[in-house]
């Protein structure tokens, strides 16, 4: 029993790093732009297809395809911001929700027509690693390492660069940042693009070990919301910790009961955290 628990916990933690990466994009956008991006799941799904077709058409290793997908996510985020988000940033919360929801529906509707809702999977296998008490798929190990490296890169950008200081300044006080000569419009567009890029990288990683459809992004978007509430809205590092918590739950719950209880427990936790710790387990915005 202990061996099974340890194996399930390790498996959940490895997936949790990727979940945390997806949630990091959501919380970065909220922390800086102050909107909740309902197109987050659609971007995750598009990234899955991006990796799939790059591997299929070019024979690229999926991890070498990730930088291309990441660049596509950055550009897509910038375009979405300019076309749909920029005009509603300073309006009501409902307007921003409707704008990103409209983008989500357009992406899903168009992609469903092109790809249908049939399941796809990336034709790639890294084998597995025998750790004695558990056998770990190689794709999950690499995915968790990539997620950690991207998180470290984001931390370095936010806290060790001039661009990062500008992003944090706009997140803290947009008016004061503008008075100091920081072009807040460009910073908001960049932040939205970075958040979308993180979602794209997470989607590309998930595609290496789970089958997917164009509708798969919705499930990961919901998981991201749970993680963001756990970690605290606007706290990127808290999102990573929240991803590890959620991944651990997903790994451990099936050991004790049916896997069908996983979403019930996840969203039950979501409600409890909202009621008891509305700023999240790890606090609110990380400045």
d(CA 21, CA 202): 6
Count other Cβ atoms within 10 Å, centred on residue 76.
24
**For residues 40-53, average pLDDT:** 96
Tell me 91's DSSP state: S
**For residues 11-40, average pLDDT:** 92
Tell me 133's DSSP state: S
Higher local confidence (pLDDT), 252 or 169: 169
Residues 6+ apart with CB under 8 A from 123: 55, 56
Residues 6+ apart with CB under 8 A from 205: 18, 21, 66, 143, 146, 147
d(CA 6, CA 129): 15
The C-alpha angle with vertex 117 and arms to 239 and 122, in degrees rounded to 5, equals: 65
pLDDT confidence bin for 127, thresholds 50/70/90: confident
Q: What is the pTM of this model?
A: 0.92
- Residue range 165-209, pLDDT digits in tens: 999 999 999 999 999 999 999 999 999 999 999 999 999 999 999
pLDDT confidence bin for 286, thresholds 50/70/90: very low
Helix H, strand E, coil C: the string for 28-43 is HHHHHHCCCCCCHHHH
- Residue range 90-110, pLDDT digits in tens: 888 889 999 999 999 999 999
Q: Does domain 2-276 have CATH number 1.10.3470?
A: yes
Q: What is the pLDDT of residue 287?
A: 45
By the 8 A CB rule, do 172 and 287 touch?
yes
Q: What is the pLDDT of residue 125?
A: 84
């Amino acid at each position: 029993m202990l061996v099974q628990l340890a194996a399930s916990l390790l498996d959940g933690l490895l997936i949790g790093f990727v979940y945390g990466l997806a949630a990091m994009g959501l919380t970065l956008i909220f922390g800086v732009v102050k909107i909740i991006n309902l197109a987050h799941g659609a971007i995750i799904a598009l990234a899955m297809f991006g990796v799939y077709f790059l591997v299929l058409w070019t024979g690229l290793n999926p991890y070498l395809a990730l930088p291309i997908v990441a660049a596509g996510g950055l550009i897509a985020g910038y375009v979405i911001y300019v076309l749909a988000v920029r005009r509603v940033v300073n309006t009501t919360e409902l307007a921003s929700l409707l704008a990103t929801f409209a983008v989500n529906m357009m992406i899903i509707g168009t992609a469903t027509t092109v790809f249908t809702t049939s399941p796809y999977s990336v034709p790639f296998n890294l084998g597995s690693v025998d750790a004695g008490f558990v056998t770990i798929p190689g794709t999950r190990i690499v995915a968790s390492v990539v997620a950690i490296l991207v998180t470290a890169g984001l931390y370095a950008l936010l806290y060790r660069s001039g661009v990062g200081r500008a992003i944090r300044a706009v997140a803290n006080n947009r008016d004061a940042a503008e008075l100091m000569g920081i072009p807040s419009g460009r910073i908001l567009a960049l932040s939205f693009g970075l958040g979308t890029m993180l979602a794209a990288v997470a989607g590309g990683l998930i595609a290496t070990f789970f089958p997917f459809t164009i509708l798969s992004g919705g499930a990961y978007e919901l998981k991201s919301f749970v993680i963001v509430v756990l970690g605290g809205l606007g706290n990127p590092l808290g999102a990573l910790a929240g991803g590890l918590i959620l991944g651990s739950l997903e790994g451990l719950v099936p050991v004790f009961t049916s896997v069908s209880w996983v979403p019930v427990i996840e969203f039950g936790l979501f409600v409890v955290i909202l009621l008891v710790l509305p700023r999240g387990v790890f606090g609110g915005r990380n400045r």
